[in-house]
A and B are shown apart, each in its own frame.
Chain A
């Protein structure tokens, strides 16, 4: 039984790594605390909280490389929405961040927290999956971060595969090919603000001569883990976008996802809505190409 709470506030990554190396009892990371505040039992047991919002690199990094950007895991959604480079290159990410909670939540909640919390309803997860995001996991081993994809880190609802001493340090986003990308993000919930998704769909694609050259599709809240709909993607690639193909793709997506029934929605509702959303997105894309 823990009878005290320690809050450790490392100021930089070197300190954080050093502390983790020395730490003998399990600790709980806190970033924006928007999930943690409603899971008090978790930190009651832990006794030690490690505040990631004091780690300078994690809260302030936005590095622009030749092929992508590196985002500190403890940047808030408000920070992310405000960066021009993210607005220009990753509008789909901005859209998903805008739809999280309310302004008050966006001001506090972090991208790393959304990933680590590993809720199948985490709104940025399908988006990060279609952006081929790479998660950089600390502490560094021989100066290197461990790299992981979004579908690798999540092992089930509320579960991630991180060891107690591991944390998400950065999110690396490769720039999507700049020529006419099509993107779509839609979240279906009880109401616009504050709703936990019943279902969400992220689509990113490119056409060439009226044919789909590449498409990435990921639905949220439809399975215990976040996984791209690879069979639907395969079915669509190299196809011309017409109503028959769109219909077939929607049917395939409904087959491919394995949603559950819970308090927010039913299996059947989720399936058919996912199909509808895909139809909506592809029809929009078909019209846009003309």
Chain B
């Protein structure tokens, strides 16, 4: 599916404009007190690059790359890694379409910086697939019509996966509260819950 969404959302574009063109970012991670004075120096002009190095594990693969410090994880996944299965709808931490797993827990990727995921492990909808084999949760959504237009589905599936990782036999109530942060404009909720219940049976 090709989406017109550019890696930079409107608010980010505005953000960049406000900052002027010379955005320079650095991440200063410090290990050991003796390095602090160096970190202070780093607050003066650092090597001129607008990107910070970052190591991140995405769907089991470790990647070392450069990222602009103000890039959200969702923009990073979609724009830089071309993992467009993760959707952006509200871009505001309210709808759940962009849900991915960060160290096994559900988060809104539109609402955290890519740098926040540095040295952590991210799993996206693409990571559920094993070669051509659908993941049991994906299969359950297919079998039980857990979607209509499908746009919220990657986020729904990742939220469901987060619940099942914690608790392989969730109750209906647990599913409903665990997935309450994922909206579906088509209102496919009954089928979504049915799908998660079915996935738990597998």
Interface of A with B (CB < 8 Å)?
Answer: 1-11, 14-15, 18-19, 22, 33-34, 37-38, 40-41, 44, 48, 53-54, 78, 98, 101-105, 107-108, 192-194
Contacts and interface: CB of A to CB of B under 8 A. Distances in A.
Contacts of A3: 19-20, 22-24
A183 B89 CA distance: 39
A3 to B, nearest CB: 4
A105 B112 CA distance: 11
B107 A14 contact: no
Choose among B31, B92, B116 the residue with the greatest number of A CB atoms under 10 Å from its CB. Answer: B116
A33 B92 CA distance: 12
Given A108-B107, A193-B180, A1 B28 contact: no
A102 B52 CA distance: 31
A4 B24 contact: yes
The interface centre, meaning the residue of A22, A33, A104, A192 with most chain B CB atoms within 10 A of its CB, is A104
Contacts of B18: 41, 44
Contact of A193 (B36, B116, B181): B181
Contacts of B178: 103
25 contacts: A4-B26, A5-B23, A5-B69, A6-B25, A7-B52, A8-B30, A9-B27, A9-B29, A10-B30, A22-B36, A37-B93, A37-B112, A38-B92, A38-B93, A103-B162, A103-B178, A103-B180, A104-B93, A104-B106, A104-B108, A105-B93, A108-B108, A193-B177, A193-B180, A194-B94
A40 B179 CA distance: 27
Contacts of B108: 104-105, 108
Given A2-B19, A104-B108, A40 B11 contact: yes
B30 A11 contact: yes
A102 B92 CA distance: 13
Contacts of A22: 36, 40
A15 B28 contact: no
Given A34-B111, A40-B15, A44-B15, A5 B159 contact: no
A32 B111 CA distance: 10
A270 to B, nearest CB: 24
